Amino acid sequence: MSVNVNTVYTRVLAIMNKEQRGYITPTEFNIFANQAQMDIFEQYFYDLNQFMRLPGNDTGHADMISLLQEKISIFNKSKSGSSDLSISSNKITIDSSDLYRTTAVFLSDKQCDRVSKKEAKEMLNSPLHVPTADRPIYYEEQGGYFIYNSSSLLSTDANVAIDYIKKPDEPNWSFSTVSGAAIHNSSTSTNFELHESEEVELVLKILELAGFATKQVDVAQFATQKDNQGIQQEKM
């Protein structure tokens, strides 16, 4: 379940109004909301990498890895077939407008080994290391995937599938203006795509961004204090 954009917007304004710390417009909120979501999203991968590098089999670390993988899994996507892919001279292209990072490439249900362009050229010119149907290879370049299961060209109807992690859709608190006031329009709004557990973190980050952007430093300090309180409570 995703995080409702109106819930976050309402909480951000409520905190700012309660503390008499200023005001942000819906347009400013949407800018901050998108930045906050991307900051949290990109932090998943940094944190996951850090936990994966820790030695031992600590249960707490394993739980954190599982939680991060669960949060990232929301953004897993796969594309295959002629409607999603275009094949030309071993180059496969997809609509990459929502692509964040590739996780796997498959050719005829065989997972391809990822190599550099230099390594691919060396393998294609080596009788001992030329890719095969059981061990195909690929490299990425110029917005496309170059796939080989031999030194020959792929057929245009080759069975290719690409798994990737998509970028989060940009949140948008949409509204109509009634008597000078912004009234939320749920039918044209876009919710956050993050895990529902990130609601508080989104509020805090938006407050922080609004505080620095509007020179309302106290708002940012308020958000930081709440963040630190949450961390201390978790430790206790």
63-89 residue pLDDT tens: 888 999 999 999 999 999 878 888 888
pLDDT one-digit tens code per residue, 31-42: 999 999 999 999
Q: According to the model, what pLDDT value does residue 232 have?
A: 60
Q: Say how far apart CA 147 and CA 200 lie, in whole Å.
A: 43
| pTM, full prediction | 0.81
User: In 24-98, where do the E strands start and end?
Assistant: 76-80, 85-88, 91-94
What number of other Cβ atoms are within 10 A of residue 206's Cβ? 28
- Segment among 80-84, 161-165, 186-190 with least mean pLDDT: 80-84
Q: What is the pLDDT of residue 216?
A: 47
User: What is the rounded average pLDDT of the residues 138-152?
Assistant: 88
Instruction: Give the pLDDT of residue 217.
Output: 42
Does residue 92 surpass a pLDDT of 80?
yes
Average pLDDT in the 198-206 region?
A: 91
- Do the beta carbons of residue 12 and residue 24 sit within 8 Å? yes
Mean pLDDT value of segment 87-114? 91
Average pLDDT of span 154-169:
91
Q: Helix 26-52 and helix 5-18: axis angle, to 10°?
A: 110
Beta bridge partners of 78: 163
For the chain, give the percent of residues with pLDDT over 70.
86
Q: Stretch 46-54: mean pLDDT, rounded?
A: 88
Least confident range of 1-10, 129-138, 190-199, 220-229: 220-229
Read off the tokens for 139: 């490299």
